[in-house]
């Protein structure tokens, strides 16, 4: 149960957000509850979607972005994002083993593991990482620009994690293992 009321249908959303929600429904087959909640502030909905769209254009592979999203969701204990990114990860052919590893901040591939572990550390330590942490992800083969992109993907996921956790957005993705939380 959400802590605030939000539009349950596209038609109930503010007029300025309805076309955006219709576009999401056409693209995804649904207008996810996160976006219906964000539609309370059409500018906030637009901002979140614009950031997500921009990050989809980075040099980071979709598989890696989803692994990072799972790691961040599980640091923050966000069941909504954990379920959403599990579903997206499966659609990208990530295996159950890949998904479980990502939730814990790891990947079987050494390069992906360095990025996901770094992203997890950024999240756990609220951006307080060491020079050695940056050197480790760089040594794994990531450019300076890609390291910036990793941090941006973390930040975008923290944003959605926080919205979902503050308002307890009802999960409308397939049920999955509950998210963990780092104390």
Which CATH number characterizes residue 122's domain? 1.20.1290.10
Q: Write the pLDDT tens digit of every residue in 79-122.
A: 999 999 999 999 999 999 999 999 999 999 999 999 999 999 99
pLDDT-derived band at 32, boundaries 50, 70, 90: very high
Residues 72 and 129 both lie in one domain = yes
Give residue 27's domain range. 15-55
In a domain, residue 115? The reply is yes
What's the pLDDT score for residue 183? Answer: 72
Please name the residues in contact with 14: beta carbons below 8 A apart, sequence gap of 6 or more. 7, 39, 40, 42
Place of tokens 């579903």: 87
Are 90 and 112 members of one domain?
A: yes
Same domain, yes or no, for 77 and 155?
yes
Instruction: Please tell me whether residues 51 and 137 are part of one structural domain.
Output: no
Residue 60 pLDDT level (bands cut at 50, 70, 90): very high
Note whether 66 and 47 are same-domain residues.
no
**Domain shared by 46 and 129, yes or no:** no
Are residue 75 and residue 109 in the same domain, yes or no?
Answer: yes
Ordered DSSP codes for 79-108: HHHHHHHHHHHHHTT--HHHHHHHHTT--S
On whether both 135 and 76 belong to a single domain, the answer is: yes
Inter-helix orientation angle 79-91/144-167, to 10°? 130
Cβ proximity of 82 and 173 under 8 Å:
no
- For residues 21 and 111, membership in a common domain is answered with no
Instruction: Return all residues near 122 (Cβ < 8 A) that are at least 6 apart.
Output: 129, 150, 151, 154
| Residues 101 and 131 grouped into a single domain | yes
141 with 93, same domain?
Answer: yes
Q: Are residues 146 and 81 in the same domain?
A: yes
Residues 6+ apart with CB under 8 A from 18: 10, 11, 39
Question: Does the predicted model carry a pTM greater than 0.85?
Answer: yes
What's the CA gap between 172 and 83, in Å, rounded?
8
């Amino acid at each position: 149960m959400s802590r605030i009321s939000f539009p349950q249908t596209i038609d109930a959303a503010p007029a300025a957000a309805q076309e955006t929600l219709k576009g999401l429904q056409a693209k995804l087959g649904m207008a996810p509850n996160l976006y219906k909640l964000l539609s309370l502030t059409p500018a906030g909905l637009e901002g979140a979607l614009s950031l997500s769209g921009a990050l989809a254009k980075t040099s980071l592979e979709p598989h890696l972005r989803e692994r990072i999203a799972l790691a961040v969701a599980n640091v923050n204990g966000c069941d909504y994002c954990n379920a959403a990114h599990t579903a997206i990860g499966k659609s990208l052919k990530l295996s159950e083993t890949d998904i479980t590893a990502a939730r814990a901040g790891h990947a079987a591939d050494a390069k992906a593991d360095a990025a996901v572990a770094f992203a997890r550390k950024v999240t756990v330590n609220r951006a307080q990482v060491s020079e050695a942490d940056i050197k480790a992800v760089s040594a794994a083969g990531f450019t300076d620009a890609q390291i910036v992109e990793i941090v941006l993907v973390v930040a975008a996921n923290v944003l959605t994690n926080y919205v979902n956790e503050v308002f307890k957005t009802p999960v409308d993705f397939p049920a999955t293992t509950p998210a963990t939380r780092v104390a």
